[in-house]
C-alpha cells in the first residue's frame, strides 16, 4: 500500500447559506487514479476548486505530501502558487485553452515559470543569453513529446481553438502535464467524448499514471470510465461523503445506488431486475 | 414587370422615405426653422428690438426634401445590392488580403520610407514636423499596444504616463540641469514606476471597471499638474526646456560647440528638426524591437495567454498580478520616453497637452490598427494623424472626418486593419497567421 499524496481533512465550503461541501475527508494515494463521483450539485467541482486553490475553503485542511518529503498546506496557499510550488495541475469542465494561440504556444505557456527563470525574468532573454535559448529548446522538446502523446503533433502550429472538441480535451491534459505536476486534477475529462475517444482517454490517463509517476484525481460522470480506470472512488452527495472504496465496493454499495437513482426508483429497479431475472 | 416591382416595391420604399422625412422634419423644425437673432436697439427691424425669433421654413423644407430623396436613393441602392450579391470577395476582405502574408515587405517599405523621408525634396519644415508628430504617435501606439493589444488590459489613461515622462524631463532639466539623453531613461523609469503604482490597486479590476479607473487616473494626473502650481507651474506650464544635443553638439545659431560649426555648414534650423525626426524614429524603432522581442519571451506569451484566458493562466502557475503589472509598467515606460521626447521637442509643456482626447486618440490608433499588430498600429497612426492634418484647413469638419474614418474602418474591418495574429514560435519553421476570429480581445 503506497502512502497518501493528498489528504483532505474536514473540508467545508460555504457560499452564503449554502453548504456546498460539508466536512469532507478523504485521501488520494500516490500512483492511484482517484475518482470523485456524485450526482449533479453534489459539490464535486467545489471540492476540486478548493484543492486547486480557486476557492479558499471555509474550514478544513488540505495537505499535499510530495514524494521527496516536502509537504504543503494547500488551504493557505494562493491559487497560482499551488500550481507553481505544490505542482498540482488541473483541467476544466468547460475547456479553457488559449484559443488564439497555437498548440505549441499553449504548451510553452504551461512551462512559464521555468522559462521565466531561464530568461532571468526577461532581462536576460531580451539580450539573448544562451541559457535561455537552451531552456526554450528543451521546453519545445517537452511540448513535442506531449503533442506526440496526445496524437496532435501534426497540428502543432494550428490555433488551439480550431481543434475538434475531443482533441481540445487531450490538449488541455497535455498542457497540464507540461507544468510537471505530481498530482493532476481532471474535471470531467471524458465529458462530450464518443465511445472511441473515451477509450483513448482512458489509455492516456493510464499512460500518464504509469509512465510519469503522476497521481490523478478526477471528477467524472461517465460510469464506464470511472469504473474502468479508477483505483479508488469517493462518492459525494449534497456535499457529504456517502461512500468510498474500490470500484467493486462502490458498485455494490446500496447508498451509492440510492443516491444515483433515488430511493423509490431503487425499489422499482430492484423489482424490475427481479422480474426479468 | 412583376419581378422588377418585387425587387423595388415602390409603396414600401416611399413609406420608408416618408418616415425618414418626418423624423427630419421633427428635428429640423426647431433646430433649423427657428433662429434667434439679436437686433441691436435702434435698428429698424421687422420684429422689433432685442432678441427675436426668425423663422426659416424654406431651409426646413430643403432639409426634409433632401432626407426624403436621399433615403429613397439609399433604399434603391440597398435593394440592388441584395438583388445582386457581390461576386467574389468583399471590399473589406480585399483590403485585408492586400496585407496578408506581405507584412514583412510592407513593414520594410514603411521603414525605408521613414528613413528617406527627410532627404526628399518635398520635405520642408512642415512635412518633417508632421513626420515627427506621426512617429510620436506611432511610438505611443506601440507602447499602448503592449497593454491593450497583448495583455488585453483596457487602459484609457495612457496619456498620464506620457505626462509623467514629459514633466519628469522638464523638472529634472530645469532644477538639476539634466541633459536630454540622461533624462530619457530616467523619464521612462519614472513612468514605469507610476505604472506599477497605479497597477497595484487597479489590476484586480476587469474590463469596464479597469477602463474607468485608468480614465480617472489619467484625469487625476492632469488635474494635479494643473493645480500644483509651485511644482509644475500650473496652467502656465514649464518653459525653457533644453533641446537635445548630438554627442554634445548643440543645434543653436551660436558657433561655439554647435552642430553646424563642427561640420562646417551654414546654420539652418532644419538641422535640428531633422535630428529630432531621427531621434523619435530611433526611439520608435527601439519600442518596436523590444515589443517584438518580448512577444517571443515567456513574459510576452504569458501576456497573450492572459488576454485569452486568465483563469487558465492561474491554473498553470502564472502569477497573474505580476504579469499584468509588467505589461502596465513596460507600456508606461515607453509612454514616458515618448513624453520626454515631446518635452524636448516642444521646449514648453503644459497640462493642456495631456488631456483625455490624447488617450482616446492613442487608443483609437491601437484599436483601428488591429490589437497586437505592430504594422497595423503604424499604418493607423499615419492615417489618423494624416487625416487630422489634411483637414486642418477645414476646422469644423476635422472631427467629422476623423469620426467618419473611424466608422468606415470599423464597418469594413471590425477587428482593425491587421487583425490576424502571428504565432510567436512554430515547429514547421513557417509561422502561419491566425485569423482574428480565434484570438481573444481580453476582458481586462
Given an 8 Å threshold on Cβ–Cβ distance, is B423 in contact with A52?
no
Per-residue pLDDT, averaged over B343-347, amounts to 91
Which stretch of A17-21, B38-42, B423-427 has the lowest confidence by average pLDDT?
Answer: B38-42
Q: Looking at chain A from residue 212 to 241, which residues have their Cβ under 8 Å from any Cβ of chain B?
A: none
Say how far apart CA B231 and CA B149 lie, in whole Å. 35
Given an 8 Å threshold on Cβ–Cβ distance, is A100 in contact with B434?
yes
Whether B160 is covered by a domain: the verdict is yes
Say how far apart CA A64 and CA A72 lie, in whole Å. 5
Please give the radius of gyration of chain A, using alpha carbons only, rounded to the nearest integer.
20
Contacts of A105 in chain B (CB under 8 A): 301, 304, 423-425
Measured between CB atoms, which of B302, B326, B440 is closest to A100? B440
**At which residue does the C-alpha cell 460522470 appear?**
A221
Contacts of A148 in chain B (CB under 8 A): none
Whether B429 is covered by a domain: the verdict is no
Whether B322 is covered by a domain: the verdict is yes
C-alpha cell at B335: 509612454
Q: Are B65 and B166 found together in one domain?
A: no
Whether B428 is covered by a domain: the verdict is no
Say how far apart CA B98 and CA B106 lie, in whole Å. 10
Whether B39 is covered by a domain: the verdict is yes
Q: H or E stretch including B36?
A: strand B34-39
Q: Are B143 and B18 found together in one domain?
A: no
Contacts of A156 in chain B (CB under 8 A): 426-428
What pLDDT is attached to residue A277?
A: 37
| Closest-CA residue of chain B to A51 | B315
Selected for mutation to probe chain B from A56, A100, A127 (highest B CB count within 10 Å) is: A100
DSSP class of A179: T
Give the B-side interface with A, CB within 8 Å: 290, 293-294, 297-299, 301-302, 304-305, 308-309, 311-320, 326, 421, 423-428, 431-432, 434-435, 438-440
Please give the radius of gyration of chain B, using alpha carbons only, rounded to the nearest integer.
27
The nearest CA of chain A is from the CA of B241 a distance in Å of 33
Shortest CA distance to B132 belongs to which of B350, B337, B282?
Answer: B282
Other Cβ atoms less than 10 A from the Cβ of A130: the count is 8
* pLDDT tens-digit series, residues A82-113: 888 899 999 999 999 999 999 999 999 999 99
- Give the domain CATH number at B283: 1.10.3470
- Whether the Cβ atoms of residue A68 and residue A107 lie closer than 8 Å to each other: no
* pLDDT tens-digit series, residues A105-160: 999 999 999 999 988 888 888 888 888 999 999 999 999 999 999 999 999 999 99
Q: Which of B33, B57, B83 is the last residue of a domain?
A: B83
Contacts of B425 in chain A (CB under 8 A): 102, 104-105, 108, 140
What pLDDT is attached to residue B192?
A: 96
Architecture of the A96-179 domain: 3-Layer(aba) Sandwich (3.40)
| Closest-CA residue of chain A to B314 | A80
Question: Which stretches of B124-206 are DSSP H helices?
Answer: 125-144, 159-176, 180-202
Q: H or E stretch including B273?
A: helix B269-295
Say how far apart CA B422 and CA A194 lie, in whole Å. 33
Whether B225 is covered by a domain: the verdict is yes
* pLDDT tens-digit series, residues A189-240: 988 888 899 999 999 999 999 999 899 999 988 787 888 899 999 999 999 9
DSSP class of A65: E
Count of pairs with CB atoms under 8 A, one residue in A, one in B? 137
Measured between CB atoms, which of A101, A122, A156 is closest to B297? A122
Measured between CB atoms, which of A92, A157, A162 is closest to B423? A157
DSSP class of B258: B
Q: Find how far residue B188's CA is from the centre of its chain.
A: 20
C-alpha cell at A134: 537552451
- Whether the Cβ atoms of residue B217 and residue B160 lie closer than 8 Å to each other: yes
Burial of A128 (C-beta count, 10 Å sphere; 0-12/13-18/19+): exposed
Given an 8 Å threshold on Cβ–Cβ distance, is B427 in contact with A157?
yes
- Whether the Cβ atoms of residue B163 and residue B219 lie closer than 8 Å to each other: no
Angle formed by the axes of helices B356-369 and B159-176, to 10°?
130
Q: Find how far residue A42's CA is from the centre of its chain.
A: 17
Given an 8 Å threshold on Cβ–Cβ distance, is A126 in contact with B297?
yes
Given an 8 Å threshold on Cβ–Cβ distance, is A108 in contact with B432?
no
DSSP class of B178: -
Say how far apart CA B280 and CA A82 lie, in whole Å. 45
Say how far apart CA B444 and CA B442 lie, in whole Å. 6
Measured between CB atoms, which of A92, A100, A113 is closest to B317? A113
As for the ipTM of the complex, it is 0.89
What pLDDT is attached to residue B367?
A: 87
Contacts of B316 in chain A (CB under 8 A): 83, 89, 109-110, 112, 175-176, 179
**At which residue does the C-alpha cell 524614429 appear?**
B281
Q: Are B183 and B262 found together in one domain?
A: yes
Model confidence band, residue B1 (pLDDT cutoffs 50, 70, 90): very low
Q: Residue A63: CB partners within 8 Å, gap ≥ 6?
A: A6, A7, A9, A71, A72, A73, A74
What pLDDT is attached to residue B49?
A: 66
**At which residue does the C-alpha cell 478548493 appear?**
A50
- Whether the Cβ atoms of residue B177 and residue B318 lie closer than 8 Å to each other: no
Q: Are B173 and B240 found together in one domain?
A: yes
- Whether the Cβ atoms of residue A90 and residue A45 lie closer than 8 Å to each other: no
C-alpha cell at B159: 496619456
Q: Are B167 and B205 found together in one domain?
A: yes
Say how far apart CA B240 and CA B175 lie, in whole Å. 11
What pLDDT is attached to residue A203?
A: 93
Whether B423 is covered by a domain: the verdict is no
pLDDT at A243 over 70: yes
Given an 8 Å threshold on Cβ–Cβ distance, is A144 in contact with B312?
no
Say how far apart CA A109 and CA A173 lie, in whole Å. 14
Residue B217 or residue B250, greater confidence: B217
- Whether the Cβ atoms of residue B162 and residue B351 lie closer than 8 Å to each other: no
Q: Are B74 and B103 found together in one domain?
A: no
Given an 8 Å threshold on Cβ–Cβ distance, is A179 in contact with B316?
yes
Domain residues for the domain of B28 are 2-83
**At which residue does the C-alpha cell 479607473 appear?**
B213
Selected for mutation to probe chain A from B150, B315, B415 (highest A CB count within 10 Å) is: B315
* pLDDT tens-digit series, residues A14-70: 999 899 999 999 999 999 999 999 888 889 999 999 999 999 999 999 999 988 888
DSSP class of A59: E
Burial of A201 (C-beta count, 10 Å sphere; 0-12/13-18/19+): buried
Model confidence band, residue B284 (pLDDT cutoffs 50, 70, 90): very high
Q: Are B47 and B108 found together in one domain?
A: no
Q: Looking at chain A from residue 129 to 158, which residues have their Cβ under 8 Å from any Cβ of chain B?
A: 132, 140, 144, 156-157
Domain ranges of chain A: 1-87+180-277, 96-179
Say how far apart CA B358 and CA B345 lie, in whole Å. 17
Whether B119 is covered by a domain: the verdict is yes
pLDDT at B421 over 90: no
Burial B193-231 (b: 16+ CB within 10 A, else e): bbbeebbeebbeeeeeebbebbbebbbebbeebbeeeee
- Whether the Cβ atoms of residue B180 and residue B243 lie closer than 8 Å to each other: yes
Shortest CA distance to A14 belongs to which of A56, A76, A45?
Answer: A56
Beta strands in B165-266 (DSSP E): none
Report how many domains make up chain B: 2
Say how far apart CA A102 and CA A45 lie, in whole Å. 28
The nearest CA of chain B is from the CA of A119 a distance in Å of 8
Contacts of A157 in chain B (CB under 8 A): 423, 426-428, 431-432
pLDDT at B3 over 70: no
Sign of the C-alpha dihedral computed for residues B312, B313, B319 and B323 taken in this order: negative
Question: Which stretches of A92-157 are DSSP H helices?
Answer: 103-109, 112-118, 123-127, 130-149
Q: Are B116 and B53 found together in one domain?
A: no
In chain A, how long is the greatest CA-to-CA distance? 78
Q: Are B351 and B383 found together in one domain?
A: yes
Given an 8 Å threshold on Cβ–Cβ distance, is A96 in contact with B309?
yes
Model confidence band, residue A172 (pLDDT cutoffs 50, 70, 90): very high
Given an 8 Å threshold on Cβ–Cβ distance, is A122 in contact with B320?
no
Q: Are B126 and B197 found together in one domain?
A: yes
Contacts of B422 in chain A (CB under 8 A): none
Measured between CB atoms, which of A79, A108, A157 is closest to B428? A157
The phi, psi pair for B130, rounded to 5°, reads: -65, -40
Please calculate the CA angle B242-B134-B146 and round it to the nearest 5 degrees. Answer: 95
Given an 8 Å threshold on Cβ–Cβ distance, is B317 in contact with A83?
yes
* pLDDT tens-digit series, residues B397-415: 777 777 787 788 778 877 7
Q: For chain B, first and last CA: distance in Å? A: 57
Q: Residue A239: CB partners within 8 Å, gap ≥ 6?
A: A19, A20, A21, A22, A24, A42, A43, A46
**Which whole-number Å values give the CA distances from A76 to A13, A43, A180, in the listed order?**
14, 20, 22
Selected for mutation to probe chain B from A51, A52, A74, A98 (highest B CB count within 10 Å) is: A98
Residue A26 or residue A277, greater confidence: A26
Given an 8 Å threshold on Cβ–Cβ distance, is B297 in contact with A125?
yes
Q: Which fold has domain A1-87+180-277?
A: Rossmann fold (3.40.50)
Amino acid at each position: 500500500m503506497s502512502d497518501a499524496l493528498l489528504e483532505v481533512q474536514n473540508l467545508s465550503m460555504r457560499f452564503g447559506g449554502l453548504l456546498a461541501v460539508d466536512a469532507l475527508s478523504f485521501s488520494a494515494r500516490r500512483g492511484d487514479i482517484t475518482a470523485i463521483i456524485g450526482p449533479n450539485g453534489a459539490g464535486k467541482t467545489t471540492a476540486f476548486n478548493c484543492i486547486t486553490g480557486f476557492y479558499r475553503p471555509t474550514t478544513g485542511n488540505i495537505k499535499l505530501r510530495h514524494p521527496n518529503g516536502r509537504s504543503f498546506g494547500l488551504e493557505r496557499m494562493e491559487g497560482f502558487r499551488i500550481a507553481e510550488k505544490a505542482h498540482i495541475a488541473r483541467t476544466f469542465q468547460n475547456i479553457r485553452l488559449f484559443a488564439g494561440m497555437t498548440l505549441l504556444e499553449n504548451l510553452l505557456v504551461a512551462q512559464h515559470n521555468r522559462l521565466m527563470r531561464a530568461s532571468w525574468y526577461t532581462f536576460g532573454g531580451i539580450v539573448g543569453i544562451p541559457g535561455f535559448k537552451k531552456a526554450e529548446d528543451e521546453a519545445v522538446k517537452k511540448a513535442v513529446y506531449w503533442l506526440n502523446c496526445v496524437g496532435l503533433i501534426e497540428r502543432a502550429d494550428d490555433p488551439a481553438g480550431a481543434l475538434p472538441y475531443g482533441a481540445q480535451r487531450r490538449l488541455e491534459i497535455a498542457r497540464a502535464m507540461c507544468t510537471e505536476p505530481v498530482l493532476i486534477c481532471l474535471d470531467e475529462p471524458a465529458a462530450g467524448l464518443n465511445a472511441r475517444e473515451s477509450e483513448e482517454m482512458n489509455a492516456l490517463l493510464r499512460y500518464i499514471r504509469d509512465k510519469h509517476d503522476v497521481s490523478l484525481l478526477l471528477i467524472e460522470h461517465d460510469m464506464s470510465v470511472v469504473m474502468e480506470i479508477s483505483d479508488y472512488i469517493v462518492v459525494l452527495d449534497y456535499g457529504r461523503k456517502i461512500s468510498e472504496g474500490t470500484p467493486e465496493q462502490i458498485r455494490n454499495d446500496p447508498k451509492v445506488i440510492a443516491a444515483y437513482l433515488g430511493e423509490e426508483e431503487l425499489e422499482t429497479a430492484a423489482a424490475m431486475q427481479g422480474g426479468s431475472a | 414587370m412583376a419581378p422588377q416591382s418585387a425587387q423595388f416595391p415602390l409603396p414600401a420604399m416611399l413609406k420608408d422615405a416618408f418616415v425618414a422625412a418626418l423624423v427630419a422634419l421633427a428635428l429640423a423644425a426647431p433646430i433649423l426653422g427657428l433662429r434667434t437673432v439679436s437686433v441691436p436697439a435702434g435698428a429698424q427691424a421687422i420684429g422689433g428690438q432685442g432678441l427675436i425669433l426668425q423663422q426659416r421654413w424654406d431651409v426646413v423644407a430643403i432639409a426634409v426634401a433632401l432626407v426624403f430623396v436621399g433615403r429613397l436613393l439609399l433604399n434603391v441602392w440597398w435593394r440592388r445590392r441584395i438583388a445582386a450579391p457581390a461576386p467574389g470577395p468583399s471590399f473589406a476582405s480585399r483590403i485585408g488580403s492586400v496585407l496578408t502574408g506581405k507584412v514583412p515587405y510592407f513593414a520594410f517599405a514603411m521603414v525605408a520610407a521613414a528613413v528617406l523621408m527627410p532627404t526628399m525634396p518635398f520635405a520642408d519644415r512642415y512635412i518633417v514636423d508632421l513626420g515627427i508628430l506621426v512617429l510620436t504617435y506611432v511610438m505611443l501606439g506601440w507602447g499602448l499596444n503592449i497593454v491593450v493589444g497583448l495583455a488585453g488590459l483596457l487602459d484609457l489613461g495612457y496619456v498620464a504616463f506620457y505626462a509623467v515622462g514629459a514633466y519628469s524631463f522638464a523638472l529634472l532639466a530645469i532644477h538639476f540641469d539634466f541633459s536630454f539623453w540622461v533624462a530619457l531613461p530616467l523619464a521612462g523609469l519614472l513612468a514605469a514606476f507610476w505604472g506599477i503604482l497605479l497597477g497595484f490597486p487597479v489590476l484586480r479590476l476587469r474590463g469596464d471597471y479597469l477602463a474607468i479607473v485608468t480614465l480617472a487616473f489619467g484625469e487625476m494626473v492632469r488635474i494635479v499638474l494643473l493645480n500644483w502650481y509651485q511644482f509644475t507651474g500650473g496652467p502656465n506650464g514649464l518653459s525653457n526646456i533644453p533641446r537635445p544635443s548630438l554627442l554634445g553638439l548643440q543645434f543653436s545659431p551660436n558657433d561655439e560647440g554647435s552642430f553646424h560649426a563642427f561640420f562646417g555648414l551654414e546654420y539652418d534650423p532644419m538641422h535640428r528638426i531633422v535630428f529630432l525626426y531621427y531621434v523619435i524614429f530611433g526611439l520608435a524603432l527601439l519600442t518596436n524591437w523590444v515589443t517584438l522581442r518580448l512577444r517571443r519571451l515567456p513574459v510576452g506569451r504569458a501576456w497573450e495567454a492572459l488576454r485569452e484566458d486568465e483563469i487558465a493562466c492561474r491554473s498553470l502557475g502564472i502569477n497573474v498580478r505580476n504579469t499584468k503589472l509588467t505589461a502596465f509598467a513596460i507600456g508606461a515606460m515607453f509612454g514616458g520616453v515618448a513624453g520626454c521626447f515631446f518635452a524636448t521637442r516642444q521646449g514648453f509643456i503644459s497640462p493642456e497637452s495631456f488631456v483625455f482626447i490624447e488617450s482616446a486618440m492613442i487608443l483609437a490608433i491601437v484599436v483601428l490598427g488591429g490589437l497586437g499588430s505592430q504594422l497595423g498600429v503604424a499604418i493607423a497612426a499615419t492615417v489618423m494623424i494624416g487625416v487630422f492634418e489634411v483637414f486642418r484647413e477645414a476646422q469644423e469638419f476635422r472631427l467629422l472626418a476623423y469620426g467618419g474614418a473611424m466608422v468606415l474602418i470599423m464597418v469594413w474591418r471590425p477587428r482593425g486593419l491587421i487583425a490576424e495574429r502571428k504565432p510567436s514560435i512554430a515547429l514547421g519553421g513557417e509561422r502561419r497567421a491566425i485569423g482574428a476570429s480565434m484570438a481573444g480581445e481580453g476582458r481586462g
